[in-house]
């Protein structure tokens, strides 16, 4: 298999993700190669710090990494290193230096209350995993690959076997990075593919007909409530699908684990870094896995109903309430899960199906009906007109005096979708007759 880096193509965007493959042990320790790589990175980092002029010269004029390669052409320290290995180390050193320089500039512009803060210093050592560009590997057939590695001070070509998940035919593999974790070795392949360009949300919503998926996210029973609205050129929107994703079992397990951690802390009086580490890791892994499952469900639902735009609320200022440790920790985990689901949906939807994701202002999405009328909210529909003045936060049902009734989360999802539509079609409305089913 030949490594190919996709080039720009009219009418298409390029999306990238990575695939991690397990390298089988073959009595060759790649730690020596990693140590050599980091020594070269440190060497070039110090050189760039002394002479940053090369970063200001365009690459077409032998600037950037070429400047430092030419400058050290006859240096004894790097003599005998493979050229791709050396160039990858130079690029890594440039990135490390630019990161340090950015931090240093922020320190120079720090406010008066931070004047006593010490400046960032140069790293004394690095722990980067070596990048294997073309020329450092060959003969990759999906199960075996030949790598150039450092063995007892000598560079040798050695064949390795690896286990990799199946890569779909429309994805293209690029040059890998060798990851060393203790006694485990991995290959991390960046993979790329072409995604048809959409022209942006504004262009999508200028079409004669398009579909938008609005998503409301709750903390307890339903992690996501989805609705699909189909909008025509006149701005008339019709609801064509709904989807509720339950998280009750996941919340119960989270609360149980947090409660056990709180009990242990109360028994021992210890609240420090590393306490109940295994329980925290288990809880964290479960949250990550659940976020992926929910995100995939949302994306596949949107794909099934041929959605072009997915709309979320912009909930960036959520803060847990003061209270018991377990209650506060549960809210923090729930807020983290909300943000993670949005990030995963945004990535999966575009990479797999070319769908776009946006966020809208959450103001009044729960307090108004799709027609903009303030709603009653409770757990049992009112029997008299005076009861329509009540509003119970967190209740499951909403209604208005003119006869509109809905689940509170579904009502919010409709408003979220409409807000995204009204950015480009201010006259957009939801046809209530489409809801009578």
Structure confidence by residue, pLDDT tens digits, 223-272: 999 999 999 988 899 999 999 999 989 888 988 888 888 888 878 776 66
Domain ranges of the chain: 12-195, 201-435
Q: Which tens digit of pLDDT belongs to each residue from 268-319?
A: 776 666 677 888 889 899 999 999 999 999 999 999 999 999 999 988 776 7
pLDDT at 243: 95
Positive or negative, the CA dihedral 365, 369, 370, 371 is negative
Q: Which of 96-110, 130-144, 260-274, 302-316 shows the lowest per-residue confidence on average (mean pLDDT)?
A: 260-274
At 324, is the pLDDT very low, low, confident or very high (cuts 50, 70, 90)? confident
pLDDT at 271: 67
Span 175-200, average pLDDT: 92
Span 204-227, average pLDDT: 91
pLDDT at 437: 52
Question: Within its chain, how far is the Cα of 131 from the centroid?
Answer: 23
Q: Which tens digit of pLDDT belongs to each residue from 153-165?
A: 999 999 999 999 9
Q: Which of 96-105, 340-349, 387-396 shows the lowest per-residue confidence on average (mean pLDDT)?
A: 387-396
At 386, is the pLDDT very low, low, confident or very high (cuts 50, 70, 90)? low
Kindly report the number of other CB atoms within 10 A of residue 82's CB atom. Answer: 14
Proportion of the chain above pLDDT 70, given as a percent: 95
Q: What is the pTM of this model?
A: 0.83
The DSSP secondary-structure symbol of 426 reads: T
Tokens coding 292:
């992926």
Span 138-152, average pLDDT: 93
Span 78-99, average pLDDT: 95
Q: State the residue for tokens 């695939």.
A: 19
Residues pairing with 191 in the sheet: 17, 173
Phi then psi for residue 372, to 5 deg, are: 85, 15
Span 325-344, average pLDDT: 85
pLDDT at 99: 96
H and E: helices and strands count for the chain? 8, 16
What is the chain's mean pLDDT, rounded? 89
Tokens coding 54:
């090369």
Q: Percentages helix, strand, coil for the chain, rounded to the nearest 5?
A: 40, 25, 35
**Distance between CA atoms of residues 145 and 147, nearest Å:** 6
Instruction: Give the CA dihedral 382, 385, 390, 396, nearest 10 degrees.
Output: 30
Q: Which tens digit of pLDDT belongs to each residue from 404-431?
A: 888 999 999 999 999 999 999 999 999 8
pLDDT at 1: 45
Report in angstroms the alpha-carbon separations of 413 from 142, 313, 366, 406.
44, 9, 9, 11
For 274, counting Cβ atoms within 10 Å of its Cβ (0-12 exposed, 13-18 middle, 19+ buried), the class is exposed
Residue 174 has pLDDT above 70, yes or no: yes
What 324-332 contacts at long range (C-beta under 8 Å, 24+ apart), as own/partner pairs, is 324/262, 325/258, 325/262, 325/265, 326/255, 326/258, 326/259, 326/261, 326/262, 329/258, 329/261, 329/262, 330/251, 330/254, 330/255, 330/258, 331/219
pLDDT at 2: 44
pLDDT at 350: 94
* Closest listed residue to residue 211, CA positions, set 88, 92, 332, 356: 356
CB 46 within 8 A of CB 71: no
């Amino acid at each position: 298999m030949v490594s190919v880096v996709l080039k720009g193509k009219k009418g298409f965007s390029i999306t990238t993700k990575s695939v991690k493959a397990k390298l089988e042990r073959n009595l060759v320790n790649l730690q020596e190669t990693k140590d050599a790589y980091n020594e070269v990175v440190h060497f070039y980092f110090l050189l760039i710090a002394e002479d940053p002029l090369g970063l200001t010269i365009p690459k077409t004029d032998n600037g950037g990494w070429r400047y430092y390669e030419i400058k050290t052409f006859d240096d004894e320290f790097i003599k005998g290193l493979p050229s791709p290995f050396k160039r990858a180390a130079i690029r890594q050193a440039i990135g490390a230096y630019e990161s340090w320089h950015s931090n240093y500039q922020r320190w120079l512009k720090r406010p008066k209350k931070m004047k006593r803060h010490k400046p960032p210093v140069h790293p004394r050592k690095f722990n980067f995993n070596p990048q294997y560009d073309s020329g450092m590997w060959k003969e990759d057939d999906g199960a075996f690959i030949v790598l150039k590695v450092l063995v007892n001070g000598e560079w040798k070509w050695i064949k390795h076997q690896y286990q990799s998940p199946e890569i779909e035919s429309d994805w293209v593999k690029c040059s890998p990075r060798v990851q060393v974790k203790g006694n485990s070795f991995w290959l991390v392949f960046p993979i790329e593919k072409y995604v048809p360009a959409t022209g942006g949300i504004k262009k999508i919503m200028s079409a004669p007909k398009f579909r938008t998926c609005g998503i409301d996210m709750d903390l307890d029973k339903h992690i996501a409530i989805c609705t699909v609205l189909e909008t025509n050129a006149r701005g008339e929107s019709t609801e064509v699908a709904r989807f509720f994703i339950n998280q009750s079992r996941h919340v119960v397990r989270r609360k149980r684990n947090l409660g056990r951690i709180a009990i242990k802390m109360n028994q021992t009086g210890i609240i420090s870094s590393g306490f109940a580490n295994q329980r925290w890791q288990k809880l964290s892994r479960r949250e990550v896995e659940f976020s992926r499952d929910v995100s995939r469900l949302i994306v596949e639902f949107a794909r099934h109903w041929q959605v072009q735009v997915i709309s979320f609320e912009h909930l960036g200022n959520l803060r847990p309430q003061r209270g018991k440790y377990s209650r506060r920790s549960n809210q923090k985990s729930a807020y983290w899960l909300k943000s993670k689901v949005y990030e995963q949906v945004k990535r999966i939807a575009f990479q797999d199906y070319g769908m776009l994701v946006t966020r809208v202002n959450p103001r009044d999405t729960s307090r108004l009906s799709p027609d903009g009328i303030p709603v009653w909210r409770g757990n049992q529909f009112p029997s008299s007109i005076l009861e329509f003045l009540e509003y119970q936060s967190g209740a499951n049902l909403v209604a208005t005096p003119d006869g509109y009734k809905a689940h509170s989360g579904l009502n919010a999802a409709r408003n979220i979708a409409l807000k995204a539509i009204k950015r480009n079609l201010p006259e957009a409305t939801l046809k209530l007759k489409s809801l009578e089913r």
